[in-house]
Structure 1
Amino acid sequence: MSANARKTAPLPDDIRARKGGVPIVSLTAYTTPMAQLMDAQCDFVLVGDSVGMVLHGLESTLGVTLDMMILHGRAVKRGLNHAMMVVDMPFGSYEESCEQAFRNAARIMAETGAGAVKLEGGVGMAGTIAFLVGRGIPVMAHIGLTPQSINTLGGYKVQGRGAAGDALLGDARAVADAGAFAVVLEKVPAVLADRVTQDIAIPTIGIGASAGCDGQILVVDDMLGLFTAFKPKFVKRYATLGAQAEAAIAAYASEVRARAFPAPEHIFADTQPEALK
């Protein structure tokens, strides 16, 4: 094999096989440039419906449409060579019936080149997951805090505390038995996340869960400090790019008003230098 052969992106079965091994790395992405930055470091990249809040200024994920997810999925795919791409199914695109879910998941797969889709829900979505997997669409599940259900959950609260932990474990078992190749655990107590991780045969991907999960995911704009409207407890800021960008924009504005920009090195002369003719 050539030493320069390009590494191919993992498949869902490759992610599934990482259970109990080196932790799986994932981030969200919504644009080509961001996807390019994370491609070499991530095992899979999620085109999350969090795009509605992060890039479109929506108050929640509920206003995100299928067309929006496909648009951003195409953009992210252009920036990936090594990481697998997973695309969120938005609210209202899969809950009505298995057939509705298949039509929309098939469209996402065909129009974006995604390796898999992700949908929210546990026991109640197990039948839909099995229906999709049985028809060739790999599914990543998402349980715990499911942002598309905030109106019934009463907000962005920790899920699975106390006696509710048994129900969440039941959700995890249901999606694993239905054929999901991995499951996101969002905003659940660490001891419960560890219990789920030990109990089911597919990888758990934590976000506000436990370091004992089989992998981790964060919204990239959160961890880079680009999205600052709020900061969940589970987010670690690895940079403060938003503050740096704000300072850079202020410096630009100041130089423009002072006619310090553009400087001579940024403008063009009437005649081309002799050496370049």
Structure 2
Amino acid sequence: MSVQSSKRRLSPANIEALKGQRPIVSLTAYTTPIAKLLDPHVDFLLVGDSLGMVLYGLDSTVGVTMDMMIAHGQAVMRGAQNACVVVDLPFGSYQESKELAFRNAARILKETGCSAVKLEGGAEMAETVDFLTQRGIPVLGHVGLMPQLINTTGGYRSLGRTDREVAKIRRDAKAIDDAGAFAIVVEGTVEPVAREITSKLRAPTIGIGASPACDGQILVSDDMLGIFTDFKPRFVKHFAELAPLIGKAAEEYAAEVKARTFPGDEHTFRIK
């Protein structure tokens, strides 16, 4: 099923069914205009808690709140008509108990109208994933590098370089798969491990800094568009270079305002 020909919004079940059929396409979105532009080209849009860093200038995703996620989830839903929309559960909103996770996930689905939630975690979160899916809340899992755990893992780095890391990633991915996640993001994981996981899981894997053999790929849209110029991870490709264009446009605007050439007569309301 192609996004363009679909008459109804893609569902988590549609995403799950794409495993083995064709690669799954995903990007993050945080606003209505960007969601409208990306919607015709992707299978699902993720309203990621990366918005804390991308939009709010936070040092990590830890400071993101439920209210922030809901506001941006609502904005993306206004712009997306075809893609499945998934909203991140922010740090602290689901780890305490499966009951708390359900309350917050249900709130996100009710207040945004999105189709699913995403949470980070492996074997320790499997019971929660099962609890949610058994109660009608589709879950996108997330294993490997988990940004919400950055304070305990010691920074952003690729994983799967030691036997211990490999064993943990394997265990985590299988646990979340067995718990019923409809897909699993695999982040910052060395290629052979991500490839192996992809071949063994029921659920499709969505790679970011993982293997091209994953069942799909996701990038932060602002990274993909080349808006950030001060930091470019190895796994990011700039499919556009918008930062210099935005800077140039602002420069030209400022010059015309100072020269009083903008606004011109064609931009001004006159009494007829």
User: TM-score range with shorter-chain normalisation?
Assistant: over 0.9
- 1:235 paired with 2:240, answer no
1:60-116: CA deviations, max 9, x gaps? Answer: 100000010000000000001100000000000000001100000000011111111
1:35-65: CA deviations, max 9, x gaps? Answer: 0001111100000000001111111100000
> Match of 1:92?
92
Q: C-alpha displacement at 1:145, in angstroms?
A: 0.6
Read off the aligned partner of 2:210 and give its amino acid letter: A
1: CA distance, partners of 2:45 / 2:173: 22
1: CA distance, partners of 2:210 / 2:6: 34
1: CA distance, partners of 2:270 / 2:217: 53
> Match of 1:71?
71
1: CA distance, partners of 2:260 / 2:206: 51
> Match of 2:119?
119
Q: C-alpha displacement at 1:224, in angstroms?
A: 0.4
> Match of 1:200?
201
Read off the aligned partner of 2:250 and give its amino acid letter: I
Q: C-alpha displacement at 1:6, in angstroms?
A: 6.5
1: CA distance, partners of 2:207 / 2:152: 22
- 1:226 paired with 2:231, answer no
2: CA distance, partners of 1:228 / 1:50: 17
Q: C-alpha displacement at 1:228, in angstroms?
A: 3.1
SS in 1 for 2:245: helix
Percent of aligned positions that are identical: 58
2: CA distance, partners of 1:219 / 1:144: 17
Point out where structure 2 has 5 or more consecutive residues left out of the alignment: none
Q: C-alpha displacement at 1:260, in angstroms?
A: 1.5
- 1:184 paired with 2:157, answer no
C-alpha RMSD of matched pairs (Å)? 1.1
Q: C-alpha displacement at 1:21, in angstroms?
A: 1.7
2: CA distance, partners of 1:21 / 1:212: 13
2: CA distance, partners of 1:229 / 1:139: 33
SS in 1 for 2:40: coil
Q: C-alpha displacement at 1:229, in angstroms?
A: 4.0
SS in 2 for 1:39: helix
SS in 2 for 1:86: strand
> Match of 2:212?
211
SS in 1 for 2:45: strand
Q: C-alpha displacement at 1:7, in angstroms?
A: 1.3
- Scaled by the length of structure 2, the TM-score of the pair is 0.96
